[in-house]
Amino acid sequence: MSLTMPPRVIFLVPSEAAAELVEGIAQVLLKKFGIGDVTCRSSGAPLERMLMNVAPGTALLVLLCAPGDAIAAVVEKECKTVPLIVLDSTTSKAASFAADSARTIAKFCSLSGSADLIAALERVAVEQEQADLVLNAQLQTKSPLYSRNIALAYDNGTQITGDKLGLPDRKRGKVRDRYEIESKPSIIALVTTDRQSGFDRQLALVPFKGAVLNLTSAFWFEQTKSIIPNHLISVPHPYVSIVKKCKPFPIEFVVRSYMTGSTSTSIWKNYQDGVRVYCGHPLPEGMKKNEKLAANLLTPTTKEEEHDRPISAEDIIKEEWMTADDWEVCSMAALKVFALGQKIASEHGLILVDTKYEFGKDLETGEILLIDEVHTPDSSRYWLASSYEERIAAGLEPENIDKEFLRLWFRKHCDPYKDAELPDAPRDLVLELARRYITLYEMITWK
* Nearest-angstrom CA–CA distance, 95 and 28: 13
Q: Which long-range contacts (CB under 8 A, 24 or more apart) does 157-165 make?
A: 158/207, 159/193, 159/194, 159/205, 159/206, 159/207, 160/191, 160/193, 160/194, 160/210, 160/211, 160/239, 161/193, 161/194, 161/195, 161/205, 162/191, 162/193, 162/195, 165/191
Share of the chain above pLDDT 70, in %: 99
* Nearest-angstrom CA–CA distance, 4 and 268: 44
Instruction: Give 217-229 pLDDT, tens digit per residue.
Output: 999 999 999 999 9
Average pLDDT over residues 50-75: 80
Give the pLDDT confidence score for residue 340 in this predicted structure. 98
Q: Where does the pLDDT of residue 5 fall: very low under 50, low under 70, confident under 90, or very high at 90 and above?
A: low
Q: Is 369 helix (H, G, I), strand (E, B) or coil?
A: strand
Average pLDDT over residues 428-440: 96
pLDDT at 1 over 70: no
pLDDT at 109 over 90: no
* 284 preceded by a cis bond (ω within 30 of 0): no
Amino acid 436 reads R
pLDDT at 142 over 70: yes
Other residues' Cβ atoms within 10 Å of the Cβ of residue 52? 7
Q: Where does the pLDDT of residue 231 fall: very low under 50, low under 70, confident under 90, or very high at 90 and above?
A: very high
* Nearest-angstrom CA–CA distance, 216 and 200: 24
Give the pLDDT confidence score for residue 48 in this predicted structure. 78
Amino acid 102 reads A
Give the pLDDT confidence score for residue 2 in this predicted structure. 54
Instruction: Give 143-184 pLDDT, tens digit per residue.
Output: 999 999 999 999 999 999 988 877 778 899 999 999 998 888
Longest dimension (CA), the chain: 93
Give the pLDDT confidence score for residue 250 in this predicted structure. 97
Q: Where does the pLDDT of residue 308 fall: very low under 50, low under 70, confident under 90, or very high at 90 and above?
A: confident
Q: Where does the pLDDT of residue 6 fall: very low under 50, low under 70, confident under 90, or very high at 90 and above?
A: low
